[in-house]
Amino acid sequence: MKIAILPGDGIGTEIVAQAVRVLEALGQKFEMETAPVGGAGYEAHGHPLPDGTLKLAKEADAILFGAVGDWKYDTLERSLRPEQAILGLRKHLTLFANFRPAILYPELVGASTLKPEVVSGLDILIVRELNGDIYFGQPRGMREAPDGPFKGSREGFDTMRYAEPEIRRIAHVAFKAAQKRGKRLTSVDKANVLETFQFWKDIVTDVHKEYPDVELDHMYVDNAAMQLVRAPKKFDVIVTGNMFGDILSDAAAMLTGSIGMLPSASLDANSKGLYEPSHGSAPDIAGKGVANPLATILSAAMMLRFSLNLPAEADRIETAVKRVLAQGLRTPDIYEAGTTKVGTVDMGSAVVKALS
Ligand code: NAD
């Protein structure tokens, strides 16, 4: 089993190193090969997604990704910025289904900004479409407005579009995920205003006919944002488009106390996937040894379960993470009085120790 290790920038290198230690401690034979991506790719080969890195990602059975980005690259032209690497990998490998579980560990109930009764026991899954929507729709650009009340002024524009097969494939993935959980799916749209999302709603409703055991409801994205902070436990699985999913999944992340706790998986039609923490490269804390590595370690567990068919090993990692939290070990982002503050490496060591 070959795993491409793409640590990226900022805290990416620190947290991926801990996840690699955990994988090595499982006693399985993984072939792991590391390559630069993001700002590191640009520095090494002049491009955020160098050819060699893309080749490795294509050959591998799964990809473990850290994070990319740094403010120092903000002046580069868009195609060379680190964030293009992740968009490129999603597109080249057709990773269209993003799974972001938001689970609140009982020990971290006090780390959430919401009241304990609102979030305790939270276990929801957001399934976000990753390959389409306004993030990829053409045409896009900046120009002189050709018409309208501001005709002749400069304007920026993007195009929101979804093709029927794109909606069908993500809907199937979401219904199947709901079947394995609480059998409830909420499709989030903006059908009251956007044609694209009226179409989305119609297609999801049609796909539902094949999953009569799953209860489906539809919710507008503004209401979904409100319900996520008002009564998040009402949800089981949420499916939505690329942009709404981007925003809602970060809101869901904070319900659990810290974005440093949340893993994610981006899968293709054959369950090959890219696994990464839900957060970015956190340049504000990079190099300080304080980043929380648990989201990346839990992403490695998702990789074992979804792409490498090693569910028992995935369980071992998740149980080890629960153990270290029960022992009271906390990185600064989840620290509370009465617990023990540790850094990135010590947290990784504690998970490795708790595996046995
Ligand atoms: P961020 O997620 O990097 O950081 C937001 C806040 O959360 C910061 O205060 C940071 O210190 C904290 N944080 C994030 N991860 C943490 C962890 N593991 N432990 C403790 N604290 C953590 O988002 P940002 O600051 O908006 O973006 C920074 C850079 O990351 C930008 O260049 C952005 O484009 C990039 N980014 C990359 C990805 C990705 O690689 N998939 C995703 C989001 C942002």
Question: For 212-241, what is each residue's pLDDT tens digit?
Answer: 999 999 999 999 999 999 999 999 999 999
For 126, 195, 238, 287, 291, the CA distances from 162, given in Å and listed in that order, are 19, 10, 18, 41, 37
For 41, 154, 174, 187, 193, the CA distances from 200, given in Å and listed in that order, are 36, 31, 13, 9, 12
Choose one of 208, 231, 263: the last residue of a domain. 263
Residue 253 pLDDT class (50, 70, 90 cuts): confident
**Looking at the structure, do residues 7 and 65 belong to the same domain, yes or no?**
yes
Is residue 155 domain-resident?
Answer: no
Is residue 154 domain-resident?
Answer: no
Provide the pairing of β-strand 273-277 with 154-157: unpaired
Q: Would you say the CB of residue 68 lies under 6 angstroms from ligand 1? A: yes
**Looking at the structure, do residues 116 and 197 belong to the same domain, yes or no?**
yes
Q: What is the pTM of this model?
A: 0.89
How far, in Å, from the CA of 295 to the mean position of ligand 1?
Answer: 12
Q: Would you say the CB of residue 250 lies under 6 angstroms from ligand 1? A: no
246 is catalytic: yes
Site of tokens 């896009």: 140
CATH number of the domain to which 179 belongs: 3.40.718.10
Helices (H), 160-310: 164-179, 195-208, 221-230, 242-255, 294-306
**Looking at the structure, do residues 116 and 221 belong to the same domain, yes or no?**
yes
Is residue 25 domain-resident?
Answer: yes
Choose one of 207, 230, 263: the last residue of a domain. 263
Span 108-121, average pLDDT: 90
* Spatial separation of the C-alpha atoms in residues 142 and 158, rounded to whole Å: 9
**Looking at the structure, do residues 77 and 113 belong to the same domain, yes or no?**
no
How far, in Å, from the CA of 304 to the mean position of ligand 1?
Answer: 24
Structure tokens at 168: 């069908």
How far, in Å, from the CA of 259 to the mean position of ligand 1?
Answer: 9
Q: Is 121 left (phi over 0), alpha (psi -120 to 50) or beta?
A: left
* Spatial separation of the C-alpha atoms in residues 113 and 10, rounded to whole Å: 26
For a substitution probing ligand 1, which of 63, 279, 346 has the most ligand atoms within 8 Å of its CB? Answer: 279
CA-based nearest residue to 343, from 283, 292, 286: 292
pLDDT (tens digit, 9 = 90+) per residue, 80-98?
999 999 999 998 999 999 9
Q: Which of 61, 123, 246, 346 is catalytic?
A: 246
- Cβ atoms of residues 300 and 317 within 8 Å: yes
Q: Would you say the CB of residue 297 lies under 6 angstroms from ligand 1? A: no
Span 145-159, average pLDDT: 96
**Looking at the structure, do residues 320 and 279 belong to the same domain, yes or no?**
yes
What's the number of domains the chain is made of?
2
Atom 6 in ligand 1: residue holding the nearest Cα: 282
Ligand 1 atom with least separation from CA of 296: 18
Is residue 145 domain-resident?
Answer: no
Q: Provide the pLDDT for residue 255.
A: 87
Which structural domain, as residue segments, surrounds residue 212?
99-133+162-263
Q: Is 282 left (phi over 0), alpha (psi -120 to 50) or beta?
A: left
**Looking at the structure, do residues 225 and 255 belong to the same domain, yes or no?**
yes
Is residue 322 domain-resident?
Answer: yes
330 vs 336, residue with greater confidence: 330
**Looking at the structure, do residues 117 and 253 belong to the same domain, yes or no?**
yes
Choose one of 263, 279, 314: the last residue of a domain. 263
pLDDT (tens digit, 9 = 90+) per residue, 6-65?
999 999 999 999 999 999 999 988 999 999 999 999 999 999 999 999 999 999 999 999
**Looking at the structure, do residues 239 and 286 belong to the same domain, yes or no?**
no
For a substitution probing ligand 1, which of 9, 247, 281 has the most ligand atoms within 8 Å of its CB? Answer: 281
- Cβ atoms of residues 303 and 60 within 8 Å: no
**Looking at the structure, do residues 194 and 249 belong to the same domain, yes or no?**
yes
250 is catalytic: yes
CA-based nearest residue to 237, from 196, 298, 176: 176
**Looking at the structure, do residues 65 and 194 belong to the same domain, yes or no?**
no
Is residue 215 domain-resident?
Answer: yes
Is residue 349 domain-resident?
Answer: yes
* Spatial separation of the C-alpha atoms in residues 145 and 152, rounded to whole Å: 5
335 is catalytic: no
Ligand 1 atom with least separation from CA of 70: 32
Structure tokens at 234: 């009402």
How far, in Å, from the CA of 68 to the mean position of ligand 1?
Answer: 9
Hey, what amino acid is at 298? L
Q: Would you say the CB of residue 298 lies under 6 angstroms from ligand 1? A: no
Structure tokens at 305: 């379960």
Q: Which of 9, 190, 236, 275 is catalytic?
A: 190
pLDDT (tens digit, 9 = 90+) per residue, 164-215?
999 999 999 999 999 989 999 999 999 999 999 999 999 999 999 999 999 9
**Looking at the structure, do residues 281 and 233 belong to the same domain, yes or no?**
no
346 is catalytic: no
234 is catalytic: no
For a substitution probing ligand 1, which of 259, 274, 299 has the most ligand atoms within 8 Å of its CB? Answer: 259
Is residue 146 domain-resident?
Answer: no
Atom 42 in ligand 1: residue holding the nearest Cα: 280
**Looking at the structure, do residues 122 and 208 belong to the same domain, yes or no?**
yes
Secondary structure of residue 316 in the 3-state scheme: helix
